[in-house]
Structure formats: C-alpha cells, structure tokens
Chain A
Amino acid sequence: MKARKSLWAGLTALILSASLLGGCGSSSNNEPAASNGNTADTGGSSAKPVTITLMMSGTKAPDGQDFVLDILPKLVKEKFPNVTLETSKYPDEQYITSVRTKLAAGQGPDIFLVFPRNASLAVNDMAKAGFTADLSDLTFLDNISTGAKEDMAYEGKQYAIPSGMDMLGVYYNQELFKQAGITEQPKDWPSFLEACQKLKDAGITPIVLGDKDPFFIQFGMYQIAANTVYPDDKEFDTKLQTGETSLTDPKWVKTVSMFKELYDKGYVIKNSLGLGSAQAAQNFIDGKAAMVFDGTWDYPTLTAKGASEFTRGFFALPANDAGKPTYIAAATSAGYAVNAKSENMDVAKEILNYWYDGQSDLFKEWVKSNTSISVYKDVPLNHELFKPVFDDYNNNGNSVYFPNQMWMTGVAEEMEAKFANIIGGQKTTPEEVTAAMDKKYKELAKSKK
C-alpha cells in the first residue's frame, strides 16, 4: 500500500512538472502577440496590426545601416504604422535551404528573394510548385525593362520583381596596358590573345583569377560561352532540357578549350588555384596583374585603393571570332516574390507598390543601396566604369544570360571541379570536362523528376 502511494506521488510529480513545462511554452507564445498589439496602439492606427516577414540572401553591409535589415523596416513602419516588417538575411546556401524547407512546411516568409529563370529557388520552379503569387497587378511594373521582367515571369505572368542586372566582364589596368604597348582595346579573341602576349612579354602578369574559390571559374567560362555556344543557338538550353542536345556539344568543348588556352599560354597568374577571390582582387588593385574577370557586383572591391594608383577600365571578354560582335554575359539579378500562401498578401503587395513607386524615400534608399545595374526607368547607371559596355548592351542587345541559370545546381560545380583539374595540370581534356558536366546534368535531371 505504502509502495503504491509513493508510485502515485512520483507520477503526480511527473505530470505536474510536465504541465509546468507546458505552461511555460504557452505563456511565452503569448508575449510577442501582446507586444505587437501595443506597438500598433501607439502608432495610432485603427487598422489591425500585421507582421510581415521578409527573407533574403547576402551579408550585412560592412559599415553603416543595412538597407534590408535597418532602413527598410523603419521606412515601412513610417508609411504603414500597423505593419511590422521583420527582415532577415542568410548566407546564400543556407538561404536556399531554409526558404525551401519553410515553404515546404507551409511556413514560408511573406516576401522572399528568388532567382531568375531555372536555377535553384528560381522563378520557374517556385511558380510551378505554386509557392509564389502572381504579381501582375502591381502598379509599377511598366517602369521595369521588359527583358528583366521576362526573366522573372512564368507562362506570361509576373512572379517576382527583378531588382537589377549584373554583367560579367574584364576589369583592366589602363596604365599597365599602355606600358605593354597595347593601344587598342581588344575586339576579338585573336587580338585579346595578342594583348595578353604583349603584357606577358613586358613582364606583366596578364590575368589574375581566384580559382581557389571554384565559382571564380564561372566568370571566364560564361563570358566565353556567351560568344561560342549561344550566338547561333539562343535555344541551346531549352534543347538541353528536351534532350535534343547535350553539354558534350562541340561548342561547349570549344568554350572549355578556349579558356584552357589562357592557362596553357601562361596568361593567367601561376598558382591561381591557391588564390581566393579576395586575394585575386588584392593582386589586381595592387597593380600586380593587368586584368581580372569578375562581375559588376564586385565594383567596390575592385575599385578599392590598393598599393598602386591606376585608372580602371571595363570591357566584355571578346571571345568572338574576328568580324563578329562581342556578346556580353549579362543576367537579371535576384528579386523579391510574394508567398502564394501568405495570409497578408494584400499588405505585402501594398508594401511592394510603395517600395518601387519611383519617388518615395524608400525607393531612393533602395536605389542607393542596390549594387546591381538598375533596370528601373530613369534610374541612372550607378558607375561610369560600366558605361561603354552598358551602352553596347542597350544599343545592340547582344547579350546572353549566365548558363547556370538554366542548369540544376551541381552542374556548374562539376564544371568547376573538372576544370580545376586542367588548371592543376591533371591531364584532363576539355572533352572530359564537358562529359562530366553532361553526366551530372543528366543525373540531376533524373533525380528532379
């Protein structure tokens, strides 16, 4: 009997402690809701308080106020006192994984960043899966250039707002070019190789690349591909999806071979596999190499003050044959989409309408913080350096997107790993590189179905 009693006592204690724990949980759940109510009251608005969540990828601005983390929530609060905007930034890979998981669990953020076309977490996939809402009724869409809008549309409907455009190109050191006796900016592949040879003969390292960060390999490869794979066959990647063509196509082999040529002839800095992107940039701004392949987004890094003072120039890598136009590798940058399952979709759209209205303080702050080239009507080009290439882009329209925007994630990584073999002197042939890319593409396509 006594034994029974203590058993019960034990059980009761256990249940009690369990319910205590439960109590903790629910009370802490209540708190944020209550404080939300308070903030709305002080705002003096009669509308009911709403919390909107926004997620994006990237890192916090190194100095001063970060647009997404600091300025955006403040300005939204000023305009819509009942709305609390909670913003968060994640590093790229974690971002993709966490947004996907949240969306799959039905707890996605109200507004989130998606990528153009067909990459991971890109418009096509998200719209097809019904995760992003149709934004065609937003008021400001007419102010955005058509090409950029198309990259963020699926089956004719707008699913995300393009926030700009990025180009790949060659940043070069004008003084070193003069020193080597290069009078004219190279216009095609033979003259580019000639310029490299002149630099090399003058004892200057022609090109520095940060191949220790494998993604750096894409900066050269995509610019060449824009001139070899796509000019005669704009639908290459669509054919790739249907299986009509493959990445082992001679045009891709040619692309890899041309890039390999730069390494074989010693135009790229020795030991590039030991340099990361930051170290490559340092080499360039210190005047130790004449050129670096990089994107417009790296403008701040590559124009920072280094050990040497010199004038920068920027051109698209002329991987074209003589007499043909140079194609620019240019692509729409990631932009915001609205969660199709958001309970506050109207509020989210209202915020976007205010954000991109072309005149509000919020819009001006956004333009100031945007590192991409604007695709918004009447917003001037952010950096003079890009003007020649940007004018060429606007006037001739010879541009090709980054191929990995049409690949599953993993193909570009395979290309990088295999091409690193070539850089490292592992006797890998361009054919083997494209074969590996093709194999990975098919493997991923299979697992995606």
Chain B
Amino acid sequence: MNRTVMKKTMYFFAIPALVFYLIFWIFPILKLFQYSVTDYNGFSTDFNYIGLDNFKDLFASGTLGTSLWHTILYTVISVGLGNLIGLGLALMLNMNIRGKGFYRSISYIPTLFSAIVVGFIWSYVYMPDTGMITTLLSKIGFNTENINFLGNYSTALYSIIFVEIWKNIGTTMIIFLAGLQTVPKDLLEAGEIDGCGPWRLLRNIKLPLLATSVTINITLSLINGLKAFDFPFIMTSGGPGTSTNTLIFSIYKMAFTEQMFGKASALGILSFLFIMVITGIFVLNMNKREVSA
C-alpha cells in the first residue's frame, strides 16, 4: 500500500472528532460572541440585539473594575507566593533528610482533595469565636474577639488566596522537585569545586536549569488564579458585600442568579481577552529564559 495515500486516508478518521470539537466547543464559543450583543436571558428564544450596550453597562457599573482588581490581586499573590513557597518546599524535600518520602507525601495531600472539601474545612478553620485559629489563639492568651477572617472586608480576599495557595502548593512542589532531579550532579560538583556556596549554587546553577519548571508552574498558577471561582463561591459567596467577587464569579452571578446571559457573555468575552493577553505575554517572555544543561 502506498504510504502517502494511507496517511491522507487517515485524515478522514479525524473528522468525527473534529465535528464534535466544532459543535460542542468552537460553536458555543462563537455563540457567546453573538449573545454578548443581545439581551438574551438564558432560556427565552426571543431576544433583541442591543449593540454594545452590555459592554457600555459593564464599564459604567463598576462591576468590571472591582472584579478585575480582585482577580489581579488574587493572581499576583497566588502566583508569587505559591511559587516561592513551592520552590522552597521542593528544595527542602530534595535534601537528604530522614523520612523524605513521608514529608513529600503529606505536602502533596492537600492537592488530592476537591475544592469543595478544602473550602468547607477552611470555613471552619477560619470561623470566628469557635474556629480552629481563634481557638488556638485564645488558648495562648490572645484577644480573638475581633478576628473574623472571612467576614472582614480587608481580610476576606487574602484568606481565600491563602487557601488557594495551600491547595495548589503540592502541584507546584512536585513540578519543581521533578525539575531538580534533572539538574546534573557533575555541574553541581563542578560548582562546589569552584567554590560556590549553597546560595550561588541555587542562583547560578539550579535556578537557570529549573527555568522550564518555572515556566510551567507560573503559567499553570497564572491561569488558575485568573479563572478563580471555586473558593469565592464555596467559602464566601463573593462576600462580604462584593469584596471577593472575581471575574468568573461575577459572570456566574450575572448569568445564573440575575439571568442576564447577554451581559454575562459580554463579561465572559472581556475576561477571555484579558486572560489570553496576560498568559500570552508571560509565556512568550519566559520561553526566552529557558536554558538546557
């Protein structure tokens, strides 16, 4: 049988998958663009085209501004701290300590739970008066009367971000740990012979060789942060007030509570563009920094 023809025939087998992909993935996304210029309410089949009113309303109402700002805060902090802590953990767990396997396992455990479980557990940890943290603090003599992590406007968002970091640290750590295994021993030895201390070994040998892991980790946590929804939804319902409304949470609320699918689609498109641009910039920038051993 002719090889080239065989190859061409194979393309036909991609058609079913392609058709499904187009119908269930690409077509709905295009529909979103259509809905964003209508007053569609999610179920009624008659709706009107209202031009760019949805977008204008979004910019005028301040919903976009607040939820965008919360999302950016969420992302910056969870990417920054998450990766620093993850790297720190990976470096520690890469050392020759007793019970290494045990420590590696327990730092990965939070990742295994679903967001619902984690959110629920942490709601109790954060609870005022009888929660875990307040109980501990009051046992050692602190006044815990005014401690209210999730109910306070200035702490709610950060408390949630902390849970996000706690949950995802395992993944970050594992990727760094895997990256560290690929750092060649001879390079490290050469560095030591040349008189590098631990800091310079890290700075000049390990980190440059970890660049691929850094790219993966930052991109993953970036996307994770930009589409933050689970924890605001489970732990605070976006509250108190709107202080933990993220972009995706606002879209959800608009579409499913207020039944303004049109406007929610418009917000969806804006966040889609926003997430794409930010991720694009990061990935392109970081690909340049990667080196190989």
**Whole-angstrom distance between the alpha carbons of A120 and B256 in the complex?**
11
Asked if A444 lies at the interface with its beta carbon under 8 angstroms from chain B, I say yes
Instruction: Contact check, B151 vs A7: say whether CB atoms are below 8 A apart.
Output: no
Instruction: Contact check, A409 vs B240: say whether CB atoms are below 8 A apart.
Output: no
* Interface stretch (choices A153-161, A164-172, A209-217, A334-342): A209-217
Asked if B181 lies at the interface with its beta carbon under 8 angstroms from chain A, I say no
Q: Which residues of B contact A276 (CB under 8 A)?
A: 123
**Whole-angstrom distance between the alpha carbons of A270 and B240 in the complex?**
14
Asked if A11 lies at the interface with its beta carbon under 8 angstroms from chain B, I say yes
Instruction: Contact check, A447 vs B260: say whether CB atoms are below 8 A apart.
Output: yes
Given contacts A6-B5, A274-B128, contact A11 B151 (CB under 8 A): no
Within the complex, which residue of A212, A271, A413 is in contact with B253, where a contact is CB–CB below 8 Å? A413
Which residues of B from 103 to 159 have beta carbons under 8 Å from A?
A: 123, 126-129, 145-153
Interface string of B142-181 (1 = CB under 8 A from A): 0001111111110000000000000000000000000000
Asked if B94 lies at the interface with its beta carbon under 8 angstroms from chain A, I say no
* Interface stretch (choices A95-103, A325-333, A347-355): A95-103
Instruction: Contact check, B241 vs A274: say whether CB atoms are below 8 A apart.
Output: no
Interface string of A398-433 (1 = CB under 8 A from B): 000000000011100100111011011110000000
Instruction: Contact check, A274 vs B153: say whether CB atoms are below 8 A apart.
Output: no
**Whole-angstrom distance between the alpha carbons of A423 and B253 in the complex?**
22
Q: Which residues of B contact A129 (CB under 8 A)?
A: 44
Q: Is the interface of B mostly helix, strand, loop or mixed?
A: loop
Nearest CB of A to B89, in Å: 30
Instruction: Contact check, A11 vs B12: say whether CB atoms are below 8 A apart.
Output: yes
Interface string of B224-246 (1 = CB under 8 A from A): 00000000000011111111000
Asked if A2 lies at the interface with its beta carbon under 8 angstroms from chain B, I say yes
Instruction: Contact check, A447 vs B262: say whether CB atoms are below 8 A apart.
Output: yes
Interface string of A79-99 (1 = CB under 8 A from B): 000000000000001000100
Instruction: Contact check, B152 vs A424: say whether CB atoms are below 8 A apart.
Output: yes
Task: Report which residue of A271, A409, A418 has the largest number of chain B beta carbons within 10 angstroms of its beta carbon.
Answer: A271
Q: Which residues of A contact B12 (CB under 8 A)?
A: 10-11, 14
**Whole-angstrom distance between the alpha carbons of A440 and B257 in the complex?**
13
Q: Which residues of B contact A425 (CB under 8 A)?
A: 153
The interface size bin for chain A is 35 or more
Within the complex, which residue of B41, B127, B243 is in contact with A274, where a contact is CB–CB below 8 Å? B127
Interface string of B1-37 (1 = CB under 8 A from A): 1100110111011011000000000000000000000
Instruction: Contact check, B42 vs A100: say whether CB atoms are below 8 A apart.
Output: yes
Closest to B262 in A: A447
Interface string of A1-20 (1 = CB under 8 A from B): 01100110111001000100
Task: Report which residue of A18, A274, A279, A410 has the largest number of chain B beta carbons within 10 angstroms of its beta carbon.
Answer: A274
Instruction: Contact check, B5 vs A274: say whether CB atoms are below 8 A apart.
Output: no
Within the complex, which residue of B128, B129, B147, B237 is in contact with A214, where a contact is CB–CB below 8 Å? B237
Nearest CB of A to B55, in Å: 14
Instruction: Contact check, A274 vs B126: say whether CB atoms are below 8 A apart.
Output: yes
Nearest CB of A to B22, in Å: 16
Instruction: Contact check, A444 vs B151: say whether CB atoms are below 8 A apart.
Output: no
Q: Which residues of A contact B239 (CB under 8 A)?
A: 212, 214, 273, 416-417, 420
Instruction: Contact check, B148 vs A97: say whether CB atoms are below 8 A apart.
Output: no
Instruction: Contact check, B241 vs A426: say whether CB atoms are below 8 A apart.
Output: yes
**Whole-angstrom distance between the alpha carbons of A100 and B13 in the complex?**
38
Q: Which residues of A contact B153 (CB under 8 A)?
A: 421, 424-426
Asked if A448 lies at the interface with its beta carbon under 8 angstroms from chain B, I say yes
Cβ-Cβ contact count across A and B, 8 Å cutoff = 123
Instruction: Contact check, A14 vs B13: say whether CB atoms are below 8 A apart.
Output: yes
Within the complex, which residue of A211, A271, A424 is in contact with B129, where a contact is CB–CB below 8 Å? A271
Interface string of A264-282 (1 = CB under 8 A from B): 0000001111111001000
**Whole-angstrom distance between the alpha carbons of A433 and B274 in the complex?**
31
Instruction: Contact check, A272 vs B6: say whether CB atoms are below 8 A apart.
Output: no
Asked if B258 lies at the interface with its beta carbon under 8 angstroms from chain A, I say yes
**Whole-angstrom distance between the alpha carbons of A279 and B127 in the complex?**
9
Instruction: Contact check, B258 vs A271: say whether CB atoms are below 8 A apart.
Output: no
Within the complex, which residue of A9, A93, A104 is in contact with B43, where a contact is CB–CB below 8 Å? A104
**Whole-angstrom distance between the alpha carbons of A277 and B2 in the complex?**
71
Asked if B292 lies at the interface with its beta carbon under 8 angstroms from chain A, I say no
Instruction: Contact check, B9 vs A7: say whether CB atoms are below 8 A apart.
Output: yes
Interface string of A190-220 (1 = CB under 8 A from B): 0000000000000000000001111000000
Instruction: Contact check, B6 vs A423: say whether CB atoms are below 8 A apart.
Output: no
Given contacts A271-B128, A417-B239, A424-B241, contact A2 B1 (CB under 8 A): yes
Asked if B259 lies at the interface with its beta carbon under 8 angstroms from chain A, I say yes
Given contacts A273-B239, A274-B150, A420-B239, contact A97 B253 (CB under 8 A): no
Instruction: Contact check, B260 vs A444: say whether CB atoms are below 8 A apart.
Output: yes
Instruction: Contact check, B241 vs A7: say whether CB atoms are below 8 A apart.
Output: no
Q: Which residues of B contact A440 (CB under 8 A)?
A: 258
Given contacts A271-B129, A424-B152, contact A212 B43 (CB under 8 A): no
Q: Which residues of B contact A9 (CB under 8 A)?
A: 9
**Whole-angstrom distance between the alpha carbons of A126 and B148 in the complex?**
43
Q: Which residues of B contact A443 (CB under 8 A)?
A: 57
Asked if B96 lies at the interface with its beta carbon under 8 angstroms from chain A, I say no
Within the complex, which residue of A7, A120, A409 is in contact with B8, where a contact is CB–CB below 8 Å? A7
Nearest CB of B to A11, in Å: 7
**Whole-angstrom distance between the alpha carbons of A279 and B124 in the complex?**
9
Instruction: Contact check, A274 vs B149: say whether CB atoms are below 8 A apart.
Output: yes
Instruction: Contact check, B151 vs A272: say whether CB atoms are below 8 A apart.
Output: yes
Nearest CB of A to B259, in Å: 6
Task: Report which residue of B126, B241, B242, B263 has the largest number of chain A beta carbons within 10 angstroms of its beta carbon.
Answer: B241
Closest to A411 in B: B258
Closest to A104 in B: B43
Interface string of B252-280 (1 = CB under 8 A from A): 01001111101100000000000000000
Known: A101-B43, A413-B257. 7 other contacts (CB 8 A): A10-B9, A101-B42, A120-B259, A271-B128, A272-B151, A410-B257, A410-B259
- Chain A contact residues, CB within 8 Å of chain B: 2-3, 6-7, 9-11, 14, 18, 93, 97, 100-101, 103-104, 120, 129, 211-214, 270-276, 279, 408-410, 413, 416-418, 420-421, 423-426, 440, 443-444, 447-448
Closest 8 CB pairs of A and B: A273-B151, A274-B151, A10-B9, A410-B258, A271-B128, A100-B43, A271-B148, A274-B128
- Chain B contact residues, CB within 8 Å of chain A: 1-2, 5-6, 8-10, 12-13, 15-16, 39, 41-45, 57, 123, 126-129, 145-153, 236-243, 253, 256-260, 262-263
29 contacts between A and B (CB under 8 A): A10-B9, A10-B13, A14-B13, A101-B42, A104-B44, A120-B259, A129-B44, A211-B240, A212-B237, A212-B239, A212-B240, A214-B239, A270-B145, A271-B148, A274-B127, A274-B148, A275-B128, A275-B151, A408-B258, A409-B258, A409-B259, A410-B258, A417-B239, A417-B242, A420-B239, A420-B241, A421-B240, A424-B153, A444-B258
